[in-house]
Amino acid sequence: MACRERDLGGMALALTLVESEAPPALRRRAREVLGHCQSTAWVDCLYLAENGRRLAGDDSDWRLACDDFRHPYAHAIRRGEPLRLALGEARSRLDHPDFQAQVAGLSHEWHLEVRPLRAADGRREWLGALALADAPERLEALLADPGFAAFEALLCRLWARLARHQGERDRQARLRDSLTQLSDGARRRALAERLGEDLLGTSAASLALRDQVVRAAETSLAVLLQGETGTGKDRVARAIHRLSARRDGPFLAINCAAIPESLLEAELFGHTRGAFSGADQAREGLIGQADGGTLFLDEIGDMPLPLQAKLLRVLESGRYRPLGADEERQADLRLIAATHQPLRERIRDRGFRADLYYRLGQFPLALPPLAARREDIPLLVEAFIADFCAREGRPEMGITSAALRLLRERDYPGNVRELKNLIDYACAMTRPGADIGPSALPGVDAGTLAPASRAAANELDLYAIDDLRQAMRHFEATLIRQRLARFDGNRARAAESLGLPKRTLAHKCQRLELDTP
């Protein structure tokens, strides 16, 4: 390649850089231009790795931490301006082993120039650092050449553009790979069956939910969980993470509705020391902590609009800025959001950004209410009772068929969470060694039963009776149940209070499918 010495503005040099297809090739050609064509004694070009935490070289396996001030690159990046050192002085003052190894073969009479590089297109993203070493007069002549500034600007512009294109190609490749895995039906079925240990249920709605969770876990798409309060959105989010390629990374969760608006931004994005009153030390936010893993944002519908815009940028570019920070950072995370609110109505009311909604909803997943999976109630009840006994150190207990029947007929505005709280209370109210009976269930009356069961449960609603035999059977069952509860399950005393032989009462309990508490 023909090029004149110190002619950094030449078209040949510009074409050499422009023809690079990827950042590593661009850095290699930049070193060749400065070293071979411009006769600079020593040149290296380092790039930011590990989400901006370390500097690395293309031809070396060492890493220089950006916050380790035992090497000059950290000082240059922190100050955001070039740094000049005499190599003899640098060797005596800076004791970082990798830096010392990097400059071990250079003359102590040379000077070292470290130039931090960042994108100059308005985003001001950090790219890396350019290191030059030569005799002081030769180094000064190179940096004084007007063409050097043009060379450095072109290098940064091309580097930033190639890095973004490469990042987009990598993301598209990951998405393609993820989507091709969706055809592996046998593996999905096995994973869905394994999920049955955490997402309990054998109903059609539960089976469909587990299948969707497996499909979501196999992709890199953002997931939006929508469902009523208490349907298990947190449990589903954890299941998606556990089955995904990010299973070895962190899983972090935050409830956007539970944290004041003034603190939510700091919780998510982190802050520097002194960023606001009370910020005595720097703190990494959940976005940075979730790097390499999954971030679960519960009740995303309550996130303030200004934060929604910042979250959208994280989803689109992976970049964010902590409160009080001068530079942006990068995080590679998978986002799962959840809400019980109708987000489309919030969009119409200008309470939620439409662009964020569509970005979050790459993989929408609706969680069924408990009313759509009532056949799962016995299995859920059994699991909740076992969990209570294990937590509280209580002996094993069961539940009577009468109590279970009441639970299946009940309305559950709070869904599975409400059912679990109900069972915890019933377990606490049941004496050791006994099974949970109807009397241990709080608030189970005609107003809490499902609409189809309310008429049969309400003995005072005489106008609703259209089957006298069934009404008499229900009245008799209710009376015996209440009398058994009154005498703590003692059939002899209950029979005596009703003027019945004990054997007759036992026969009625069997015919009416009544269990004693």
> What average pLDDT does the structure give for the chain?
83
Range in 281-285, 317-321, 444-448 the model is least confident about: 444-448
Q: What would the two tokens of residue 194 be? A: 């394994």
For tokens 């955490």, name the residue.
198
The tokens describing 201, both together, are 């249920």
Residue 6 has pLDDT above 50, yes or no: no
Q: Under a CB-based contact definition with an 8 Å cutoff, are residues 143 and 113 in contact?
A: yes
| Band (67; pLDDT cuts 50, 70, 90) | confident
Q: How many CB atoms lie within 10 A of CB 117?
A: 24
DSSP string, 137-189: HHHHHHHHSHHHHHHHHHHHHHHHHHHHHHHHHHHHHHHHHHHHGGG-HHHHH
For the chain, helix, strand, coil in percent to 5 are 50, 15, 35
> What is the rounded distance in angstroms from the CA atom of residue 242 to the CA atom of residue 221?
15
Rounded distance between C-alpha atoms, residue 129 and residue 460, angstroms? 83
| Cβ 215 vs Cβ 182: under 8 Å | yes
In tens, the pLDDT along 107-147 reads 989 999 999 998 875 556 788 999 999 999 999 988 888 88
pLDDT digits (tens, 9 = 90+) for 267-314: 888 888 766 766 678 788 899 999 999 999 999 999 999 899 889 988
Flag whether pLDDT at 455 surpasses 70.
no
pLDDT above 70 (res 431): yes
- pLDDT greater than 80 at residue 87: yes
Which residue, among 477, 386, 480, 397, has the nearest Cα to 431 in the 3D structure? 397
Task: Report the predicted TM-score, pTM, of the whole model to 2 decimal places.
Answer: 0.55
Other CB atoms within a 10 A radius of the CB of residue 390 amount to: 10
Which run of H or of E encompasses 320? strand 319-320
Give the pLDDT of residue 284.
Answer: 85
Residue indicated by tokens 């639970």? 407
Residue 446 pLDDT level (bands cut at 50, 70, 90): very low
- Confirm if 280 and 319 have CB atoms less than 8 A apart: no
Distance of alpha carbon 342 from its chain centroid, rounded?
A: 21
Cα–Cα dist 116/130, whole Å: 6
Compute the CA torsion angle 22, 26, 32, 35 (nearest 10 deg).
Answer: -150
* Per-residue model confidence as pLDDT tens digits over 15-24: 778 878 888 8
Tell whether the model's pLDDT for residue 68 goes beyond 60: yes
Instruction: Tell me the Cα Rg of the chain.
Output: 34
- Separation CA 385–CA 109 (nearest Å): 78
Position 456 pLDDT exceeds 60: no
Spatial contact of 234 and 253, defined as CB atoms under 8 Å apart: yes
Q: What is the largest CA-CA distance in the chain?
A: 118
> Hey, what domains does the chain have and what are their CATH numbers?
11-169 (3.30.450.40), 185-368 (3.40.50.300), 371-450 (1.10.8.60), 459-517 (1.10.10.60)
Q: In the predicted model, is pLDDT for residue 454 greater than 50? A: no
DSSP 70-129: TSHHHHHHHHTS-EEEEHHHHHHH---HHHHHHTTTS-TTSEEEEEEEE--SSS--EEEE
For residues 91 and 108, give the distance between their C-alpha atoms in angstroms, rounded to a whole number.
Answer: 8
Looking at the chain, the whole-number percentage of residues with pLDDT higher than 90 is 31
Q: How far apart are the first and last CA of the chain?
A: 94
* Chain center to CA of 158: 33
Cα dihedral sign, 139-143-144-147: positive
What residues pair up with 366 in beta bridges, in sequence order?
Answer: 226
State how far the Cα of 401 lies from the Cα of 304, in Å rounded to an integer: 48
d(CA 441, CA 217): 38
Question: With 80 as the cut, is the pLDDT of residue 179 above it?
Answer: no
Alpha-carbon span 515 to 402, nearest angstrom: 6
4 HSE (CA, 13 A, CB side): 6
The confidence band for 1, taking pLDDT boundaries of 50, 70 and 90, is very low
Three-state secondary-structure class, residue 451: helix
In this prediction, residue 478 carries a pLDDT of 82
Rounded CA-CA distance 385/388 in Å is 5
Rounded CA separation 354/276 (Å): 31
Q: Which of 274, 252, 256, 276 is nearest to 264 (CA)?
A: 256
What is the structure's pLDDT at 53? Answer: 82
Q: What is the dihedral of CA 382, 386, 392, 396, to 10 degrees?
A: 100
CA dist., res. 151 & res. 153, Å (int): 6
The yes-or-no verdict on residue 381 having pLDDT over 90 is yes
pLDDT tens readout for residues 341-355: 889 999 998 989 999
What count of residues does the chain have? 517
Which structure tokens are listed for 448?
């809490």
* Angle in degrees, 0-180, between the axes of helices 185-195 and 204-217, rounded to the nearest 10: 120
